[in-house]
Amino acid sequence: MTGEQRPAAPTHLRTLCFIRYGDRVLLLRRRHPPNQGLYNAPGGKIERDEDPYEACLREVHEETGIRLRKARLRAILTVISRSTGARWLLFVFIGERPSGSADPVTTDEGTLSWVPLSEVPSLPVPADIPLILPHLFTPDPGILIGKIHADDDVLVDYEFRMA
């Protein structure tokens, strides 16, 4: 393709929110792509009129029934597909289960479970989850910035730094 410009690959804006309850975290076993069959944090698309924080709170409520009072940004990850060039920009938040909140509701998105943090890496999860999880709930106030290269949903390489 000499002299021709390839069309720009899409960039997908997404949120994830790891909600903690004691030593457990709320995970969703996804019924639909992407990551169908895997456990992941609640989250989803950032709508045109939203910022990442608003999208996080909305997605948590839609997928779990939980209304978080606040969430804290802990990581920004760029996932790049080597085969397609598509990028996913993930804003990763944490939150605490509000006291007195009802148990989360299972929705069409998948089945929800409170999973001990120590067991998360042994579950079928996206490859980046075990890499970022140790950072998310540490007292370090920094934001983890990561670039992840994947090929057909397989992690090829990554680099992380603190901001």
Could you give all domains of the chain from N- to C-terminal order, each with its CATH number?
Answer: 11-162 (3.90.79.10)
Number of helices (H) and strands (E) in the chain: give both, helices first. 2, 9
pLDDT attached to residue 153? 76
pTM: 0.92
Q: Map residue 72 onto helix, strand or coil.
A: strand
pLDDT attached to residue 101? 83
Residue type for position 129: I
Q: Mean pLDDT of residues grouped by 10 in the chain (163 residues)?
A: 69 97 95 90 96 97 93 97 92 95 83 95 94 93 95 90 94
Residue 46 DSSP symbol: P
The 8 Å CB, 24+ separation contacts for 8-11 are 9/81, 9/84, 9/85, 9/86, 9/87, 10/86, 10/87, 11/86, 11/87, 11/88, 11/89
Residue closest to 29 by CA, chosen among 106, 111, 108: 111
Distances (CA, A) of 44 to 7, 50, 101, 122, 140: 25, 12, 22, 23, 26
pLDDT attached to residue 3? 58
pLDDT attached to residue 103? 83
| Cα–Cα dist 93/73, whole Å | 4
